[in-house]
Amino acid sequence: MTTIEGSVALVTGGSRGIGRALVTALYERGAKKVYATARDPRTVTHPDAVPLALEVSDPASVAAAAEQAQDVTLLINNAGASVNASFLDAPVEDVRREFETNFYGPLLVTRAFVPVIERNGGGHILNVHSVLSWLGVAGSYSASKAALWSQTNSLRLDLRPRGIEVTGLHVGYVDTDMTAKIDAPKVTPESVAAQALDGIESGAFEVLADDLTRQVKAGLAADLGTLYPQLAA
């Protein structure tokens, strides 16, 4: 199990939404230092956070961030994109762009920081997934998050013997800029952040942060017509 108090964390996409809430919650639980990354570090507003420039899909940017943050013990891969490209109609480049951010981005960051966390005595990685990891209703976004879920499951097996625990965070609708135009029940970023950190500290393999996510996960063993009512019509 990982203790937040005294840890040194890095949160990708730490300037807004869930990322910003995670930065705040980490300090509230006694983290010693929190790096908050953004494409433009000037957008990081938390007064105690250490702003760090990072483009997760750019290997040079990832390497530079890892070089600057050599004391990290807790990595949170939160940065993501929502393109929702159609597999039939959208340019393939749009699909590829979503995977670059949502799948390859966390992979590049994880590969860069695993040696850092190991040198610092071990620690924890949290990957932010989505309820759409389990529902193929959002084109490239669903596929990229499903791929990230699989990546997380593999990394958990690979990293445990190296002293690094891995938790996957799954969320549905969160009250952030990304869901501003969606009319549906939403949980707050603060609630998600609190549950995520509880999961890290308890050593949970997965955190399901709302009722919708728990409902969908429970339905994975059912007939596909349960998850996709249009198939049962």
d(CA 21, CA 188): 9
Sheet containing 206-208: give its strands across.
50-53, 33-38, 8-11, 74-77, 123-128, 164-170, 206-208
Tokens found for residue 73: 């013990």
Q: In angstroms, what CA-CA distances link 2 with 164, 171, 186?
A: 9, 22, 28
Contact 173, 210 (CB under 8 A): yes
Q: How far is CA 27 from CA 6, 11, 120, 168, 182, in A?
A: 10, 12, 20, 21, 31
- Of 145, 181, 186, 217, the active-site residue reads 145
Asked if 53 contacts 40 with a C-beta cutoff of 8 angstroms, the reply is yes
Residue 141 annotated to the active site: yes
In the set 27, 104, 141, 186, the catalytic residue is: 141
CA 127 to chain centre: 4
List the catalytic residues.
141, 145
